[in-house]
Amino acid sequence: MQQGFVTSFLADTASSEGSNNATAIQDDRRRGRGAALNMPGRFETLGTEIFDDGWNTLEDLEPFKTTVQEERARSIITRNASPDLAFDRSINPYRGCEHGCIYCFARPTHAFVGLSPGLDFESRLFAKPNAAELLERELAKPGYTPRPIAIGTNTDPYQPIERRYKLMREILGVLDRYNHPVAIVTKSALVERDMDILVRMAERNLATVAVSITTLDAKLCRAMEPRASAPHKRLQAVKALSSAGIPTSVMMAPIIPALTDSEIEALLEAATDHGATTATFILLRLPQEVAPLFRDWLLRERPQQYQHVMNLLRSMRGGKDYDAKWGERMRGTGPYANQIAKRFQLATKRFGLQTRRPKLDTELFVAPQKGGVQLELF
């Protein structure tokens, strides 16, 4: 059916097997994007549906363009008490992510701002230009206790718009100035731009970088992570960072059963060859609106593998697309999940990779004075 006219309807994000009530957006309007759907978030009472009205209005619908809205954040350090995470605080300089990874577990956060976790998440972005200023202010608060700040655990700090906004570089400048440890996760080779700061911090044991590489298959990567750096570029970044003395790890996140799990050994070998010293993995997670988006993508891109992928995934998630139980959501349960974990363990041992990133130094931290002036050391 030709898509052309937009009308309102009551939103219902429940979906049937492999489908969603939102109509797929035509290819030329979403070229270079991961999602094909733009269904409303779970908090919305109204949404839109595209259908053929017979007037050929399809030509009037513009492609999805990346737009960035600046927001003046009130705070920048986010706290968590999750037993599954190795950090208790993080920074997200951006909302949404232009990389467009179809499996991204952060997609549902766009529902909190009244936007779709689908195409909106990767095309309607938010930047926090006062991030570095807020960080310096929060580090100066009386009683602040330093612990490593994780950056890149929600949306990627080195996504394409970082080239223009440079928020991550400003944040690193603050952390470097006050000797505050940071752990970075990214899918972008743009992290190499900030090697001058990261090298200085690494010399004081204040920085680690984890490069997330899901697959070595460039074609699969382009379909699954359309605007992230190509696999070979990420490996080059691993080599550049590690050669400069920055502790660098590779995350296979996520591992997708029957789609990328066959690459565990080859990917870890490539990581080792490029200088990585640590490797970790996370099993595919499909919370909230991510499940229908991923199922729709799988039916479009790998229809022959759809049933096999979903059956294996559900076997590791208690028969469901996702199970958010603490202690299980990152690794899954059951024989196949155990097999993946065992293969990963054996491969890391074979290639001499650690499975825990090095502990960073918190003793060097010097709190900013009021007004952001560094305290005199002598």
Token pair listed for 295: 């199922």
Which 8-state DSSP code applies to residue 354?
B
CA–CA dist 69, 120 (Å, integer): 12
pLDDT value of position 84: 67
Q: Which of 148, 103, 140 shows the shortest CA–CA distance to 310?
A: 103
Identify the sign of the CA torsion 109, 111, 117, 123: negative
pLDDT digits (tens, 9 = 90+) for 258-312: 999 999 999 999 999 999 999 999 999 999 999 999 999 999 999 999 999 999 9
Torsion angle (degrees, nearest 10) of CA 125, 168, 209, 199: 160
Q: HEC states along 134-172?
A: HHHHHHCCCCCCCCCEEECCCCCCCCCCHHHHCHHHHHH
- 240 domain-assigned: yes
CA–CA dist 49, 72 (Å, integer): 33
H/E segment holding residue 119: helix 119-123
- 338 domain-assigned: no
Could you count the other beta carbons within 10 Å of the beta carbon of residue 324? 12
In DSSP notation, 192-233 reads: GGGHHHHHHHHHTT-EEEEEE---S-HHHHHHHSTTSPPHHH
- 130 domain-assigned: yes
pLDDT digits (tens, 9 = 90+) for 77-120: 988 877 767 778 999 999 999 999 999 999 999 999 999 999 99
3-state secondary structure of 15: coil
Q: Which of 21, 30, 29, 67 shows the shortest CA–CA distance to 48?
A: 21
pLDDT class for 329, splitting at 50, 70, 90?
A: confident
CATH of the domain at 71: 3.80.30
Helix and strand element counts for the chain (H, E): 11, 12
Q: Is the pLDDT of residue 123 over 50?
A: yes
In sequence order, the β-bridge partners of residue 68 are 125
pLDDT value of position 45: 72
- 73 domain-assigned: yes
- 252 domain-assigned: yes
Residue 18, CB-side half-sphere exposure with 13 Å CA sphere: 14
pLDDT value of position 243: 98
Burial of 207 (0-12, 13-18, 19+ CB in 10 A): buried
- 327 domain-assigned: no
pLDDT value of position 241: 98
Residue that is written with structure tokens 């759907």 in the block: 37
Structural domain that includes position 171:
67-279
pLDDT value of position 56: 55
- 150 domain-assigned: yes
Q: How many domains does the chain have?
A: 1
- 195 domain-assigned: yes
pLDDT value of position 16: 40
